Amino acid sequence: MKRKLLSLLLIFLIASTFAERIKAQNQSLNISFLLDLSDRIAPKKNPDFFQRDLGYIKSIETAFVNHVKGKKIMLLNDQMQVFFDPIPKIPNIDYLSQLLKVSFNSKTNKKDILSVDNVYTQTSSKIYLHTIKENNYVGSDIWKFFKNNVQNYCIKDKQRNILVILTDGYMYHKNSKFLDKGKSSYITPAFIQSKKLISSDYRAIMKKNNLGFISFPYNLKDLEIIVLGINPSKQNPYEEDVIKQYWADWFTAMKVKKFHLISTDLPANLSPVLQKIISEK
């Protein structure tokens, strides 16, 4: 009797696991990128960081395409796009943005799916290389993007919504520098030093002084977020912990469904991590 119950339990677990995999395979993806085109990608400052960004984009794009290719055409309802805030001063940026806005449905041609890799590789490279060539780093107003656009741009009904933010983890833009009872719209190495968040008791200091990002009364229960490329200053051994605490508290306050805070590394190392997140395997 005991063996029979164990066998039934095993069958149930296998069936449940299989059902979850089928569900994940057939879900509709809505992936958005928010690019931080600040001087963090300047070769003189960080020689290979723009190439890392391109590698991260490639990994996620590949996971997206593999997901789409694994579905029946009649079930397709998947999309991927790239956002900027502010808009970079690049010729034909609207056209380039349109190229990076891909959408698939039951009428999609297989050739369109196969063309995504080439389009994303070439177009994203053009944007980064032009920014570097012109030495015109517009930065990224991530705080304002969340304030004004994240709900309308990144969340679609009946889709698995994922926002990928490519940034070094610091948040600052000259047009969005606000303070409110300890909370701020920005965080920089100098700011972290000024708040004395340089020791193992940084959490206690943050709590005592009500430190963190200014949040919004949003319920982002249908949004998953990946913050990718966190690159803390080496001057403070707790810098990375502080940065991640700020982001984690911010997302928690806005009821984000799930989030991943990933430090910078070679794309070859992070590729399987990112593809696992996207595929939910």
CA of 159: how far to CAs of 29, 145, 199, 206, 243, in Å?
Answer: 6, 21, 42, 36, 30
Residue 246 to residue 228: CA distance in whole angstroms: 15
Q: Is 28-279 a domain of CATH 3.40.50? A: yes
What was the pLDDT predicted at 152? 97
Q: Where exactly are the structural domains of the chain? A: 28-279
- Select from 234, 269, 273, 236 the least CA-distant residue to 52: 269
Distance of CA 262 to the CA centre of its chain: 9
* pLDDT at residue 102 tops 60: yes
Where is average pLDDT lowest: 12-26, 205-219, 232-246, 265-279? 12-26
Residue 49 to residue 211: CA distance in whole angstroms: 29
pTM, full prediction = 0.91
What was the pLDDT predicted at 20? 45
How many Cα neighbours within 13 Å face the side chain of 115? 13
What was the pLDDT predicted at 19? 35
Give the H/E segment covering residue 161: strand 160-166
Percent of the chain with pLDDT over 90: 89
**pLDDT tens digit sequence for 198-216:** 999 999 999 999 999 999 9
* pLDDT at residue 12 tops 60: no
Residue 89 to residue 135: CA distance in whole angstroms: 11
What was the pLDDT predicted at 281? 72
* pLDDT at residue 13 tops 80: no
> C-alpha angle with apex 85: 40 to 122, nearest 5 degrees?
70
